[in-house]
């Protein structure tokens, strides 16, 4: 696979592990500006906390497309499902105080639940293993529907699976978490959260799940319509029922200050955080998810976080005493928040860079940066009696944490662990393996993909000429 121009754009400012904070900040700022340019992002705020101090805090672009008002320290970005992290901390504060156990049945705190909801436990809500019908799938709620009216409507839908069976992301879980918090504290969810987590920044946060409500300094969200080739402002109106799941809008300074408090154990004791971050044991899958937090491992370094609305991400690296906040208001292409967190973390410390995510960032951004690239055959070439599978990792980038690259396809039952198809590193970051041509039937088309570190299936470049035409969009190999 040939090296693209985009890789140079990203990697000439990338993962060299600079030691001076000023130099890091310059590199991070340049990287962010490239991301904004490539993805045509209207406005963004990015912050970093290291050793309980803000080391990076920058603002870019406009709050909304209807005016020229610039993003600044007063701009409140709606963080959507990152609100769940705030709700998680609030709930575990009650656990820490002995007012609640994650093993409690939710019926202990919420009256008149449907019969088949009665035995669901608090931990099933946090781990998205409740099996409850998702209120996000129901479109006939009134804006001001009460919590009980929402539950009554949902009771007409079937339970999807037995509680604890597996992971299925679900907004109903956080309506119930809100109701439990309110029952125990005797306060509204919003009052409880503001008093306990934002006492020093109340004027920098607001709860509202109404996208069209006019709120001073709140940043609007935009979805890109590829057919019309323009942004369209989000007009969704949820009610108070969604406040604990997606309703928080917050300034970057307030989010960073929240992160510092969280890191310094001002909200929760270390043992409580350890309990919250413990992976949930699902009955029928090995999905790794904590009690309300995503778990990410990069080169054996663990981080915790979440994302929201495809426009925000928060990630904390406890062992590095570092956290990263990314918030923006829309992007033309594939959501970039996870790739940005990964890339920024890798600039600060190369050991935090996930090479798979970095490769995906380049591939996914390519059609927006260079939409007119000529289609070419990628992934293999034929030399004499050999088929040589070839994967190009971006040149001048660090391959230290690439443990292996393999090729899997219809020719080996999509087995990423097949030793005959393990690639070896050549010069210029090229990984290759030669396989006898006789192993492939003439005239037959084989779909295949490359896999990094035995888990990351690599997206093929958009300008690949040899695709198999399936929804999975694989490379295609054919021996004439």
Model pLDDT for residues 233-250, shown as the tens digit of each residue: 999 999 999 999 999 999
Contact present, 305 and 315 (Cβ < 8 Å): yes
Model pLDDT for residues 15-58, shown as the tens digit of each residue: 444 444 789 999 999 999 999 999 999 999 999 999 999 999 99
Query: How many residues comprise the chain?
Result: 480
pLDDT in tens, the chain (480 residues): 344 555 555 654 444 444 447 899 999 999 999 999 999 999 999 999 999 999 999 999 999 999 999 999 999 999 999 999 999 999 999 999 999 999 999 999 999 999 999 999 999 999 999 999 999 999 888 888 999 999 999 999 999 999 999 999 999 999 999 999 999 999 999 999 999 999 999 999 999 999 999 999 999 999 999 999 999 999 999 999 999 999 999 999 999 999 999 999 999 999 999 999 999 999 998 889 999 999 999 999 999 999 999 999 999 999 999 999 999 999 888 899 999 999 999 999 999 999 999 999 999 999 988 889 999 999 999 999 999 999 999 888 889 999 999 999 999 999 999 999 999 999 999 999 999 999 999 999 999 999 999 999 999 999 999 999 999 999 999 998
Torsion of CA 444, 452, 362, 6, to 10 degrees: -80
pTM above 0.85, yes or no: yes
Q: Which helix (H) or strand (E) holds 127?
A: none
Model pLDDT for residues 427-478, shown as the tens digit of each residue: 999 999 999 999 999 999 999 999 999 999 999 999 999 999 999 999 999 9
User: What distance in Å separates the CA atoms of residue 258 and residue 434, rounded to the nearest whole number?
Assistant: 53
> Hunting for tokens 């609007």 — which residue is that?
220
Beta bridge partners of 322: 50, 317
């Amino acid at each position: 696979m040939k090296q693209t121009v985009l890789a140079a754009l990203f990697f000439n400012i990338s993962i060299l592990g600079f030691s001076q904070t000023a130099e890091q900040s310059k590199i991070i700022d340049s990287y962010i500006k490239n991301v904004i340019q490539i993805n045509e992002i209207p406005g963004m705020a990015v912050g970093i906390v290291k050793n309980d101090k803000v080391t990076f805090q920058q603002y870019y672009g406009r709050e909304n497309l209807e005016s020229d008002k610039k993003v600044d320290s007063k701009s409140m970005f709606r963080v959507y499902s990152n609100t769940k992290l705030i709700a998680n901390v609030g709930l575990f504060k009650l656990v820490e105080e002995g007012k609640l156990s994650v093993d409690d049945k939710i019926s202990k705190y919420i009256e008149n639940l449907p019969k088949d909801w009665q035995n669901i436990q608090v931990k099933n809500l946090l781990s998205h293993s409740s099996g409850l019908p998702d209120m996000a799938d129901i479109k006939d709620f009134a804006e001001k529907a009460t919590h009980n009216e929402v539950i009554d409507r949902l009771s007409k839908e079937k339970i999807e699976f037995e509680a604890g069976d597996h992971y299925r992301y679900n907004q109903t879980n956080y309506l119930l978490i809100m109701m439990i918090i309110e029952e125990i504290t005797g306060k509204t969810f919003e009052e409880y959260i503001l008093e306990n987590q934002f006492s020093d920044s109340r004027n920098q946060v607001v709860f509202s799940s109404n996208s069209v409500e006019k709120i001073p300094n709140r940043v609007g969200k935009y979805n890109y319509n590829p057919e019309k080739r323009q942004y369209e402002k989000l007009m969704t109106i949820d009610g108070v029922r969604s406040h604990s799941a997606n309703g928080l809008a917050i300034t970057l300074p307030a989010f960073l200050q929240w992160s510092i408090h969280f890191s310094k154990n001002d909200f929760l004791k270390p043992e409580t955080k350890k309990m919250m971050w413990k992976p949930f044991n699902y009955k029928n899958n090995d999905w790794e998810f904590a009690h309300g937090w995503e778990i990410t491992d990069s080169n054996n370094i663990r981080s915790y976080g979440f994302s929201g609305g495809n426009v925000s991400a928060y990630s904390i690296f406890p062992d590095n005493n570092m956290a990263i906040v990314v918030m923006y208001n829309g992007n033309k292409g594939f959501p970039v928040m996870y790739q940005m967190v990964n890339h920024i973390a890798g600039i600060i410390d190369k050991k935090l860079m996930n090479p798979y995510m970095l490769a995906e960032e380049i591939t996914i951004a390519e059609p927006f940066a260079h939409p007119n690239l000529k289609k070419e055959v990628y992934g293999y070439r034929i030399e004499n009696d050999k088929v040589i599978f070839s994967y190009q990792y971006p040149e001048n980038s660090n391959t230290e944490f690439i443990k292996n690259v393999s090729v899997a396809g219809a020719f080996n039952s999509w087995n990423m662990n097949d030793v005959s198809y393990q690639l070896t590193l050549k010069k210029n970051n090229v990984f290759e393996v030669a396989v006898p041509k006789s192993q492939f039937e003439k005239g037959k088309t084989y779909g295949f993909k490359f896999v990094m570190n035995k888990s990351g299936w690599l997206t093929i470049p958009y300008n690949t000429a040899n695709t198999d035409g399936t929804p999975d969009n694989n490379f295609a190999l054919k021996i004439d």
